[in-house]
Amino acid sequence: MSDKEAVPGYDAPVEALEDVESGSPRQNGEISEAKSKQLVRRQDYRIIPLSAAIYLLCYLDRSNIGNAKVLNSTTGDDLLTRTHMTAYQYTIALMIFLIAYAIFEVPSNYFLKKVRPSRWIAFLMLSWGSITVGFAGVQSYAGVVVVRFLLGVFEAGLFPGLVYYLTFWYRPEERSIRVAAILASATLAGAFGGAIAYGVGHMNQVQGLSGWRWLFILEGLPSILSAFFVWFALPDYPETASWLSAEEKALAAQRLSGHGSQGNSAAMTWADAKSTLLEWRLWCHYIIYFGISVPFSSLSLFTPSLTAGLGFENLNAQLMTVPPYACAYVVTLAASWSADHFNARALHSSIFSLLGAVGFIASATLPRMRIVLVMDVSLSQPRVLLPVFLRSWGGFPPICTRRRLSGWQLPSISRWARRARSSVYGSIRQRRLPRGTRWVTGSMPASCS
């Protein structure tokens, strides 16, 4: 087999490189493999932590409305009371965000490529951070709806943008674990959000502002400030990265030949879009993804309310959301690694989906008085929160492991369609999520709403 031949179903090997010192070609082998791994590590250090931090801030600003709903509710200073909203109107506000998210998720990737990733993502961060801070000034239901819609517009492009952005740097088999690492930061956002809300709750009526208004201000400012850092720190493409040598840039281009995206690659055509939407395997995965996306979305929006319904009052309801999310972060990373290591992604996704289903069913059917009685007699709060832990395990790990099943449908999809798939994937998923908000609200006890 020649150096340029490839086994069907596997990625083409890296072609021979020219030795910079001797000027002679160097065949694929241990040296080029070591160079490739070293390059990937350098890219990881520059890209993955920053991308995860960006998504953490995005998810924090998206989900803090769930904390605001019950923050300082015992004193009548919560979001619903101050804006004169009903529980039904609150649900509509959540749905408005998801509608905007679904509409603008796909078009955003066009601007990411047109403008440059660092510029577009920084613009999105500045926009949603400013809108989050502006949320502190709303006085009515109409204001909440408008702000949530705008928030959905500017947050819609981040995650599909990050997934598309990774195609500029990584081969297909290298992306899934990195997407999982970025997604896992959403669980940290839940943990940080609960801890921040607990602290901000003590600022209620400071300078005449309710605690939930301070919450939006203090959680929106980091996104605004970080946008300026991302503008300069986020690398756009390997071919323009100043921290890569000429040899590393050549290696990056050869590694991605036929598999990745480039800043000067051809534009997407209608034929590419048609081939994506007519791929039957994609639609099978959409159906599966719908089922696990509903709890993923509803968790961040309703966990504080559901925790309050378990008997935790006032600020303790915020604090008790931290342990499940912190644990879910570890479980999500472990599940993603295990699914890849044992090549059992479908099995892992199924197991954790089942655990999540048990948690949701237990929360809906287990009598509240029995839960409180167990807490009072055994003084074991973790046992009270067991359904919450199970829900978090069933919400986040299946999403990450499910993302890694995409190899099943990729061989029959064109290269541009593979890159577009992530945007279409998320957009169609968002059209299902409003149902999740209605289901959760409809099944919540009156004490939670």
Domain positions in the chain: 42-262+279-448
Give me the helix-helix angle, 172-200 and 211-233, nearest 10°.
150
Instruction: List the beta bridge partners of residue 18.
Output: 25
Tell if the pTM clears 0.85, that is, is over it.
no
> DSSP alpha helices (H): ranges in 171-279?
172-200, 211-233, 246-255, 270-277
Residues 6+ apart with CB under 8 A from 261: 113, 164, 167, 168, 419
Residues 6+ apart with CB under 8 A from 274: none
Residue of 285, 276, 274, 286 lying closest to 429 (CA atoms): 286
Contact (Cβ atoms closer than 8 angstroms) between residue 391 and residue 299: yes
Give the distance from CA 94 to its chain's centroid: 17
Contact (Cβ atoms closer than 8 angstroms) between residue 118 and residue 241: no
Length of the chain, in residues = 449
Contact (Cβ atoms closer than 8 angstroms) between residue 259 and residue 171: yes
Residue with tokens 């949530």: 148
Cα–Cα dist 98/352, whole Å: 25
Phi, psi (degrees; rounded to nearest 5) at 206: -70, 130
Residues 6+ apart with CB under 8 A from 304: 66, 67, 69, 70, 71, 194, 197, 317, 318, 321
Cα–Cα dist 309/298, whole Å: 16
Contact (Cβ atoms closer than 8 angstroms) between residue 298 and residue 359: no
Cα–Cα dist 32/39, whole Å: 10
> Which DSSP string corresponds to 88-111?
HHHHHHHHHHHHHHHHHHHHHHHH
Residues 6+ apart with CB under 8 A from 93: 65, 85, 141, 144, 145, 148
Count how many Cα atoms sit within 13 Å of the Cα of residue 273 in the half-sphere of its side chain. Answer: 8
Phi, psi (degrees; rounded to nearest 5) at 54: -65, -45
Phi, psi (degrees; rounded to nearest 5) at 18: -95, 130
Between CA 371 and CA 236, with CA 184 as vertex, the angle to 5 degrees is 160
Mark 365-391 as b/e (b = at least 16 C-beta within 10 Å): eeeeeebeebbeeeeeeeebbbbbbbb
What CATH class does 42-262+279-448 carry?
A: mainly alpha
Instruction: List the beta bridge partners of residue 209.
Output: 206
Between CA 66 and CA 74, with CA 70 as vertex, the angle to 5 degrees is 175
Cα–Cα dist 434/321, whole Å: 23
Q: Tens of pLDDT along the chain (449 residues)? A: 444 444 333 344 333 334 433 343 444 444 478 889 999 999 999 999 999 999 999 999 999 999 999 999 989 999 999 999 999 999 999 999 999 998 998 888 889 888 999 999 999 999 999 999 999 999 999 999 999 999 999 999 999 999 999 999 998 888 888 988 898 898 899 899 999 999 999 999 999 999 999 999 999 999 999 999 999 999 999 999 999 999 999 999 888 886 655 555 555 677 777 777 787 777 887 787 777 777 767 777 888 887 877 777 778 888 888 888 888 888 888 888 888 788 888 888 888 888 888 887 877 776 654 444 333 333 344 445 677 777 777 777 777 766 555 444 444 444 545 444 444 445 444 444 544 444 444 444 444 44
